[in-house]
Each structure stands twice: as structure tokens, then as C-alpha cells.
Amino acid sequence: MRIAFVGLGNMGAPMARNLLKAGHELHLFDLNTTVLAELAELGGQIALSPRDAAAQGDLVITMLPAAAHVRSVYLNEDGVLAGIRAGTPAVDCSTIDPQTARDISAAAAKQGIDLGDAPVSGGTGGAQAGTLTFMVGATPALFATLKPVLEQMGRNIVHCGEVGTGQIAKICNNLLLGISMIGVAEAMALGDALGIDTGVLAGIINSSTGRCWSSDTYNPWPGIVETAPASRGYSGGFGAELMLKDLGLATEAAKQARQPVVLGAVAQQLYQAMSLRGDGGLDFSAIVKAYQR
């Protein structure tokens, strides 16, 4: 299949690599020429612009850092919508606000383009291993088209509903994730301060009603879960800056919808304070440091 792929950063590059491995013909664009060269060696073809890439694809995939990039990559003069042929399916895998996802899709629809959103979870590790989860907002027909391709980059391909719902699913999940992680940090640090063994405490929580992914799989207290970032100095994993970005998207979407998210807003502030302290580069579970003695 001829695929246009725009955005080859920490996530996009390994995703494109998996598509090349699967035998597709890729037309690639990014501002970073080094990564373009690397992917060209693997058989990818270098495009001169998002427009140029889109013009040569039977499917367009984009993976960008934020909403502003998505807007310009699709809507600029040399953007995707300037080159794409009517009827070509497209999907944006960036994590952005649901409203922008809908706006861009509406702009595409005017040209006869069915554009969906499919943000991912799983991090750079999942992108490399091809085990990402894709949360897809798309028409049923578009979802059917996208699914086999996304399966070459991920393991779980979930249809969330119409366009925008992929973004909604992701920010709602990550809102809860940010809150849960801080909750685990507070519970573990309180237990430690009061004098219970933290391993025993984690064991009790994990077999009780406090059980959650942040406790049983990714516990922020060092030494509880061997494979978690907490047990290797909070390196790797899901960076605090990315959590801060997602909590920003969630609180902003909540503001637009006049929907209170009280704990979510406090969580966002606590990650902002962590970033201010200079710890934004650590895994997001390092929020526990704010509670440790």
C-alpha cells in the first residue's frame, strides 16, 4: 500500500519503520532530515512537503507533537489537504484536543476526505515493539480501512466512536491516570511516614479496593515493582512533561465543556510544580518525590 507518513519524531519514526517492515511503500515527510535519511535507507521515499507526501499516498498518517502542528500540517499552503486526492482515507495519531480533531476533520470532509483521529498509548517502547494501543475516532467505514494498517503498528485497535472520540478516550484515561498516580504516591508516602513497610502496604492495596495500574504495575515507590521506572531512578517510561501536556488537554477540554474536574486540576498543578522544580524530564511516577522525606 502507498502510505504518506508525516511526523517522524520519537513516536512517528518507529511507527513508520514498522510499516516499512510490513512491506508498504512510504512517502515520508519531517523537518528533521536526519531521520528522513535513516528511513530512506530502509526503503522509504522522501517527500518535499506534507502536500507532496499526501499526493502520493493511498492513505495518509500523521503523528505530530501538538494541535498547532496538526493545524499547519493539514491546512497550510503546502499541507496535506492541498495535495491529497479526494476519497483518500487519512488518520491523525497525534494527541491533541478533541475540538481541533473535529475541526480538521470537518475541513477535510469539505474536500471529500474522511479523516479520523487515533491517538496512541504505549510510549516509545510500544511504538518500537509494535504493541501500541490505538484509540480511534472514525466512521465505521474508515475504521474498517484503518484497522489492518494500525495493527501493523499496535496490538489493541479500539473503535471509540465518531471523529474526536479517540482524543476524548485518551485524555479521560490519562486524567484518571494522573490522579491515580498521585493518589498512590500519597498513600505510599503516608504509609511510610506512619511506619508500615511499603512492600506490605503495596501488597495490601493491590489485593484490595485501592488496586490500580499505578499501584500494581507502575508503583512509584522504589523497589516495589522491579520493572517500573521507580526501580531505575525514574528514567524511561512516560515523561512528566507528557503527563502535564495531557492533563492540560483534559482541563482545557473540561473548561470548554463547563465540566468540573477538581482533582484533575489539582493534579495538573502538582505536575506543573514538578516541572518548575526541574523534574519534568523524569518519568511521571517521580511525582512521589514531592511526598518523600
* 65 contacts a copy of itself (rule: CB under 8 A): no
Stretch that binds a copy of itself, among 23-31, 49-57, 83-91, 179-187 (CB under 8 A): 179-187
**C-beta closer to a copy of itself: residue 149 or 201:** 201
Strand, coil or helix: 124 = helix
Q: Which is nearer to a copy of itself, 63 or 177 (CB)?
A: 177
Task: Classify residue 107 by its DSSP letter.
Answer: H
Say how many CA atoms lie within 13 Å of 262 toward its Cβ: 0
Size of the site for a copy of itself (CB under 8 A): 78
The residue from 6, 13, 115, 176 that contacts a copy of itself (CB under 8 A) is 176
Region near a copy of itself per CB under 8 A, out of 44-52, 53-61, 71-79, 184-192: 184-192
Per-residue burial over 70-90, b if 16 or more Cβ lie within 10 Å, else e, is bbebbbeeebbbbbbeeebbb
Three cell numbers at 210? 485501592
Report the 10 Å Cβ neighbour count for 10.
13
Among 6, 84, 146, 184, contact with a copy of itself (rule: CB under 8 A): 184
Site for a copy of itself, residues 205 to 244, rule: CB under 8 A: 205, 207-215, 218
Q: Which of 7, 12, 44, 98 binds a copy of itself (CB under 8 A)?
A: 98
Catalytic residues: 170
Which segments of 24-112 are extended strands (E)?
A: 25-29, 45-46, 59-62, 90-92
Task: Please report whether residue 48 would count as binding a copy of itself according to CB under 8 A.
Answer: no
- Scanning 76-84, 110-118, 189-197, 226-234 for contacts with a copy of itself by CB under 8 A, the matching segment is 189-197
By the rule CB under 8 A, 113 interacts with a copy of itself:
no
Choosing from 250, 282, 286, 288, the residue that interacts with a copy of itself (CB under 8 A) is 250
Give me the 272-291 binding string for a copy of itself, x by CB under 8 A, dash otherwise. Answer: xx-xx-------------xx
Identified binder of a copy of itself from the candidate list 142, 160, 230, 288, rule CB under 8 A: 160
Options 5-13, 39-47, 73-81, 204-212: segment touching a copy of itself (CB under 8 A): 204-212
* 106 counts as binding a copy of itself under rule CB under 8 A: no
Interface pattern 119-158 for a copy of itself (x via CB under 8 A): --x-----------x-x--------------------x-x
Left (φ > 0), alpha (ψ -120 to 50) or beta: where does 278 sit?
left
In angstroms, rounded to a whole number, what is the distance separating the alpha carbons of residues 158 and 101?
Answer: 17
Is 168 in contact with 160 (CB distance < 8 Å)? yes
**Per rule CB under 8 A, is residue 108 in the interface with a copy of itself?**
no
Q: Does 270 bind a copy of itself (CB under 8 A)?
A: yes
Core vs surface per residue 20-36: b (16+ CB within 10 A) or e: beeebebbbbbeeeebb
User: CA-to-CA distance for 158 and 201, rounded, in angstroms?
Assistant: 34
CA dihedral defined by 126, 185, 224, 177, rounded to 10 degrees? -30
